[in-house]
């Protein structure tokens, strides 16, 4: 039976399902409760507000991005290859998502825009992964930088056009790949030891 006890986890699943079906504007707490066969008051027993529920859904989605990236960041391969794989995965994940299901991506975008704090933490997580890769590279002498955290943040910001959803409307441009290569080339040069 699907209707065992009500848990935050089950509510999140239902919320994702409803969001997927109705979009961010038309999804209501009543809809989510209905999908679960409970009253909306019961949902409020597990999430203090609709905003908190939305934040939790956003966090779940962002984990889907950051967990695979964490695996890459900790792979036992050369730091330069690892850095490239990491950015490739970040960029292609976002791009595929935005193109294969634009409506769902728009939903994700709308949620993220309202869950600023959750997104901020996500970005911090990603930059921490970059720090891991940079540290490995500096230790083995293939990267030079006198300030790893600053450089990690700079790499993230310098590539924003290719992974920040606010730029998603450019991800189908024909020049996007060569533009990405151009920035990558520049950044790799910046990391080279003298």
Partner DNA sequence: ATGATGACAGATATTGAAATTTGTCATCAC
Partner DNA sequence: GTGATGACAAATTTCAATATCTGTCATCAT
Binding site for a second copy (CB under 8 A): 150-151, 153-155, 157-161, 164, 166-167, 178-179, 182-183, 185-187, 189-190
Residue 190 binding result from DNA, a second copy, none, given CB thresholds of 5 to 8 Å by partner type: a second copy
Kindly identify the residues of this chain, within the stretch 17-36, that bind DNA according to CB under 7 A.
25-26, 28-31
Shortest distance (Å) from residue 98 CB to DNA: 24
Distance CA 93, CA 89 (A): 6
Give the one residue of 24, 50, 109, 154 binding DNA; rule: CB under 7 A: 50
Counting contacts by CB under 7 A, is residue 2 touching DNA?
no
Q: Tell me whether residue 110 or residue 123 sits nearer to DNA (CB atom).
A: 110
CB of 40 or CB of 161, closer to a second copy: 161
User: What is the rounded radius of gyration, in angstroms, for the C-alpha atoms of the chain?
Assistant: 20
Binder of DNA out of 21, 51, 139, 185 (CB under 7 A):
51
**Concatenated DSSP letters of the chain:** ---SS--HHHHHHHHHHHHHHHHHHH--HHHHHHHHTS-HHHHTTT-SSHHHHHHHHHHHHHHHHHHHHHHHHT-SS-HHHHHHHHHHHHHHHHHHHHHH-HHHHHHHHHHHHH-HHHHHHHHHHHHHHHHHHHHHHHHTTS---S-HHHHHHHHHHHTHHHH-GGGGGGTTSTTHHHHHHHHHHHHHHHHS--
Q: Residue 182 CB, nearest distance to a second copy (Å)? A: 4
Q: For residue 42, state whether it binds DNA (rule: CB under 7 A).
A: yes
Q: Please choose which of a second copy, DNA, none residue 153 contacts, taking the beta carbon within 5 to 8 angstroms, the exact cut-off set by kind.
A: a second copy
> Which residues are near DNA by CB under 7 A?
5-6, 25-26, 28-31, 38-42, 44-45, 48-51
């Amino acid at each position: 039976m699907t209707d065992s006890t009500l848990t935050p986890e089950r509510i999140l699943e239902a919320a994702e399902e409803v969001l997927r079906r109705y979009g961010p504007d038309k999804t209501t707490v009543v809809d989510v409760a209905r999908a679960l066969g409970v009253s909306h008051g019961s949902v409020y027993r597990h999430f203090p507000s609709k905003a908190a529920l939305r934040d939790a859904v956003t966090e779940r989605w962002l984990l889907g991005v950051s967990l695979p990236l964490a695996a890459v960041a900790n792979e036992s391969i050369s730091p330069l290859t690892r850095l490239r794989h990491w950015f490739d995965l970040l960029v292609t994940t976002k791009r595929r998502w935005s193109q294969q299901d634009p409506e769902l991506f728009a939903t994700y975008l709308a949620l993220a825009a309202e869950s600023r704090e959750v997104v901020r933490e996500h970005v911090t997580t990603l930059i921490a992964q970059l720090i891991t890769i940079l540290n490995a590279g500096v230790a083995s002498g293939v990267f030079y930088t006198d300030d790893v955290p600053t450089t990690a943040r700079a790499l993230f910001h310098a590539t924003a056009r290719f992974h920040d959803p606010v730029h998603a409307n450019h991800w189908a441009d024909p020049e996007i790949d060569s533009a990405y290569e151009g920035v990558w080339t520049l950044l790799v040069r910046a990391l080279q030891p003298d």
